[in-house]
Chain A
């Protein structure tokens, strides 16, 4: 893609997704800032964790692109 705004969205989602595996997933909890911000926009998502929201409200295409980027970032991590 060369859609810069889309790239930023995918990048943010990929990093949020990866952050869930650190610090007992504290950044993916319903009361985390990003989820609270989503709750403010769309009350139906209030109380959902990042993973719950991602599984329910994100399109197939974006999920696929997020996975591509997450896998790429995983490769960059030191072993």
Chain B
């Protein structure tokens, strides 16, 4: 039932993210039960983070502080469209870029884009290119380098800067804590992937049979490709549809048969889960941090679907329910815990509330939520669902309350935000 916190579930189990073999959808997993505290919202004193790289005189490792490097890494993480900004022999044209994007999502009108949007995007593109250049000049010590495939941008620079953050020295307390959570996040991702890999099962027990079905599947897919082009060009598509559907069903059956033949090494999976559980518990504890950067790093790893970076909440997004022999249902996302705490069972609309609630919570912790903040920029010129010119001129909280969200939606967001505070705030 959706009630205004009248019926909080009482659950004495405080194990965050309890690893249990019981299916999540049977709602038997434990969730954090927050203690209801008297909460007084802190006086918000936003920390204005200077990320303009031109303010820094030198990028030599000896003069670069850990926090500067971290700020660059955060700024870099907003540069997902770096390839668009890198025009060969041409200066990036922000106006044309925005017009093109607005045409694509059907939001172009005669008065758009505004000069504020164009200037904001132009400045952002320049900043991204500058950060990329500066980061490329900082070498990772050979002993700390990690081999791996060559990645395209922005992934290459992202990997580079995250490696730097794990190896760079820091002398400040905040730097140390930040380095700790970043390192833990790295371990968490590796152990999470280890569980995913073992959850796929292995072929060794039914190798011969699997090989036969794999070969059949290959033949079916080739047939499907040929039939697809035939159906596409046919005048009367309906007469081919039943054959196409029959072929599709055969492919799905083969895929299911393949998955059924994979066998899980239970001992290996149990060990992977145990190893993951240790690091996971440690990383969850960082969600109690009152520091917005530390909270951000922990949360963006644990959430695994970039809730703090605009995407919607989507259960099982990376748990591979279809791809794995056994889905990694033991893992419970932070947002799932919030949903359980609120007694909700409606991911559809929770999607539309939780990203805003989490961003507001970060603002309360002291994150930069001004006009130039990463979320302000997102709504101004990076959103996937349409840009909002007002966000280029308002701080984030005012934008949400006065412009983006309906009053009723804002009320709902406040309700979710209250649950977030109860869970995480000291």
Contact = CB atoms under 8 A, between A and B. Distances in A.
Interface in B376-426: 385-386, 388, 403-406, 408-412, 415
Interface string A38-79: 100111110000000000111111101100100000000000
Contacts of B405: 1, 3, 6
B411 A61 contact: yes
B346 interface: yes
Interface in B238-271: none
A68 B409 CA distance: 13
Contacts of B346: 42, 57-59
**Interface of B, helix, strand, loop or mixed by DSSP:** loop
Contact of A3 (B1, B344, B352): B352
A58 B2 contact: yes
Interface string B89-129: 00000000000000000000000000000000000000000
A61 B351 CA distance: 14
A19 interface: no
A6 B25 contact: no
B352 A41 contact: no
A68 B315 CA distance: 30
B403 A6 contact: no
Nearest to A10: B406
A58 B404 contact: no
A5 B406 CA distance: 12
B386 to A, nearest CB: 5
B2 A65 contact: no
Interface string A1-13: 1111110010000
Residue of B27, B348, B385 with highest tally of chain A CB at under 10 A: B348
Given A6-B352, A9-B348, A43-B25, A60 B412 contact: yes
Contacts of A4: 385-386
Nearest to A42: B345
A38 B405 CA distance: 25
B39 interface: no
A59 B409 CA distance: 9
A57 B312 contact: no
A6 B410 CA distance: 12
B290 to A, nearest CB: 28
Contact of A1 (B1, B344, B409, B415): B409
Interface of A: 1-6, 9, 38, 41-45, 56-62, 64-65, 68
A58 B408 CA distance: 12
B409 A6 contact: yes
Contacts of A43: 25
Nearest to A13: B349
A56 to B, nearest CB: 6
A61 to B, nearest CB: 3
B347 interface: yes
Nearest to A37: B348
B101 to A, nearest CB: 14
A62 to B, nearest CB: 6
B4 interface: yes
B346 to A, nearest CB: 5
A9 B408 contact: no
A42 B349 contact: no
Contacts of A56: 1-2
A16 to B, nearest CB: 12
Given A42-B347, A56-B2, A3 B404 contact: yes
A64 B405 CA distance: 13
Residue of B4, B346, B386 with highest tally of chain A CB at under 10 A: B346
A61 B2 contact: no
Nearest to A62: B349
Contacts of A65: 406, 408-409
